[in-house]
């Protein structure tokens, strides 16, 4: 789970850079905040383990995709990543339910955060449905999306 949170941090960092580079500055600010949030999520999990006297092995984080076809591709990739992470947390929550009530609570909180993220990106994609996705329109919609 910790590795997945670091992967998410890197994804948003790369997306922030790409957005800034092509002039979507509001999106870049949004994804910067997202990347910081992902680091916080990793920290929560690490802290839980450290408090149980576990020596936390930090993961090697793979280099993320750094270039996107357009802003919508970046949002779609984010939606997919958040949905995958939601499913991963759901699997873990189910697994620990009968094993460890405290860990269940920690993971349950993470699952709720994931659900909010999935809904947020789904809403963005819904807003873009039926829109002619040229850069001009996306720049005009940027303040509504972010």
Rounded Cα distance between 116 and 75, Å, is 15
Does 82 interact with Fe ion (rule: CB under 5 A)?
Answer: no
Does 7 interact with Fe ion (rule: CB under 5 A)?
Answer: no
Instruction: Pick the piece of the chain touching Fe ion (CB under 5 A) from 3-11, 50-58, 100-108, 134-142.
Output: 3-11
Cβ atoms within 10 Å of 82's Cβ, excluding its own: 23
Cβ atoms within 10 Å of 103's Cβ, excluding its own: 17
Closest distance of CB 5 from Fe ion, Å: 5
Does 38 interact with Fe ion (rule: CB under 5 A)?
Answer: yes
Nearer of residues 37 and 142 to Fe ion, judged by Cβ: 37
Nearer of residues 22 and 124 to Fe ion, judged by Cβ: 124
Q: Which residues contact 141 (CB under 8 A, 6 or more apart)?
A: 127, 128, 131
Does 41 interact with Fe ion (rule: CB under 5 A)?
Answer: yes
Nearer of residues 5 and 77 to Fe ion, judged by Cβ: 5
Does 92 interact with Fe ion (rule: CB under 5 A)?
Answer: no
Detail the DSSP E strand segments found in the chain. none
Rounded Cα distance between 72 and 75, Å, is 5
Rounded Cα distance between 1 and 45, Å, is 8
DSSP letter at 61 equals: P
Closest distance of CB 6 from Fe ion, Å: 10
Binding site for Fe ion (CB under 5 A): 5, 38, 41
């Amino acid at each position: 789970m910790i590795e997945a949170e670091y992967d998410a941090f890197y994804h948003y960092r790369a997306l922030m850079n790409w957005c800034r580079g092509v002039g979507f500055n509001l999106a870049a600010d949004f994804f910067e905040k997202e990347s910081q949030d992902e680091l916080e999520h990793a920290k929560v999990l690490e802290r839980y383990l450290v408090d149980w006297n576990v020596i936390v092995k930090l993961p090697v984080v793979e280099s993320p995709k750094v270039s996107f076809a357009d802003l919508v591709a970046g949002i779609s990739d984010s939606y997919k990543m958040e949905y995958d992470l939601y499913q991963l947390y759901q699997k873990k929550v189910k697994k620990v339910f009968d094993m460890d009530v405290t860990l269940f609570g920690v993971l349950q909180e993470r699952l709720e955060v994931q659900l909010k993220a999935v809904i947020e990106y789904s809403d963005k994609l819904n807003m873009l449905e039926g829109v002619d996705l040229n850069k001009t329109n996306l720049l005009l919609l940027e303040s509504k999306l972010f």
